[in-house]
Amino acid sequence: MKRNMSEKMNPNLCICWMILLPYLGFTQGKEQIWKPADRQYLLNGLKKTESDFLQEVEGLSNEQLHFKPDSSQWSVAEVMEHIGVYEELLYWDLVNNQYTDERPDLVDSVRGIDSVMIAYATDPNKGQAPLIAKPLGRFKEKEDLIHFFTGFRREVITLVQDTKVDFRLHFIFRPADWGVWHIRDLHQYTLLWIAHTERHLNQIRRIKSNPGYPK
């Protein structure tokens, strides 16, 4: 009697399945640490701070844009340029570091510092912008400054919205003496730059409330 063809099995194929099945079971059952609610939290923050940015600079004249409270302080235009520079840096950091190796061994070491990133928005300590982020007056027109920031912000939003990687398993590294800023996962890193935008929107509001601000 002939055996049914479906009963025949290539021995080499059997070996392949024996090797692959445990792996397939692992990948299908792997749980993401970065939850949909985490992704949505970043998207909400990115979209809101972009909207707030556009609202704060809407209707500003060229004189208002370039007004400086004094020689040691930035104008609204310079703050806008600074925010745009950091948005470009955020985009490239996220693009590149989502392709790094996953580091589950680091997850516990950064647990709980989300709040530190968020609190940066209202941190009273004044920072010093590094050379790369200092405004150089590259843009004189408001529309160009808006486009500089929003162009990269919308790329960041698209990346966060569409990425398939777990933002809790990929990390940004800085010098060891930076303390809590030394190692952060990509979720925390994005939280920081949302807070950074909020921080400088507050700076723009302070400039606009200066008694010498052009009306």
> Containing H/E element for 184?
strand 183-185
Distances (CA, A) of 132 to 84, 136, 197: 12, 10, 17
Q: Is residue 11 part of a domain?
A: no
Residue at token pair 């529309």? 143
Q: Is residue 189 part of a domain?
A: yes
Q: What is the CATH number of the domain that holds 198?
A: 1.20.120
Q: Which two tokens stand for residue 21?
A: 């099945």
Q: How many helices (H) and strands (E) does the chain have?
A: 8, 2
Cβ neighbours for 157, distance < 8 A, ≥ 6 positions apart = 43, 46, 47, 50
- Backbone φ, ψ for residue 170 (5° rounding): -120, 145
Q: Is residue 169 part of a domain?
A: yes
What's the predicted TM-score (pTM) here?
0.84
Per-residue pLDDT tens over the stretch 55-93? 999 999 999 999 999 988 999 999 999 999 999 999 999
What total of structural domains would you count in the chain? 1
Per-residue pLDDT tens over the stretch 140-198? 899 999 999 999 999 999 999 999 999 999 999 999 999 999 999 999 999 999 999 99
Whole domain around residue 164: which residue ranges?
Answer: 36-58+77-208
Q: Is residue 113 part of a domain?
A: yes
Q: Is residue 3 part of a domain?
A: no
Q: Is residue 72 part of a domain?
A: no
Q: Is residue 9 part of a domain?
A: no
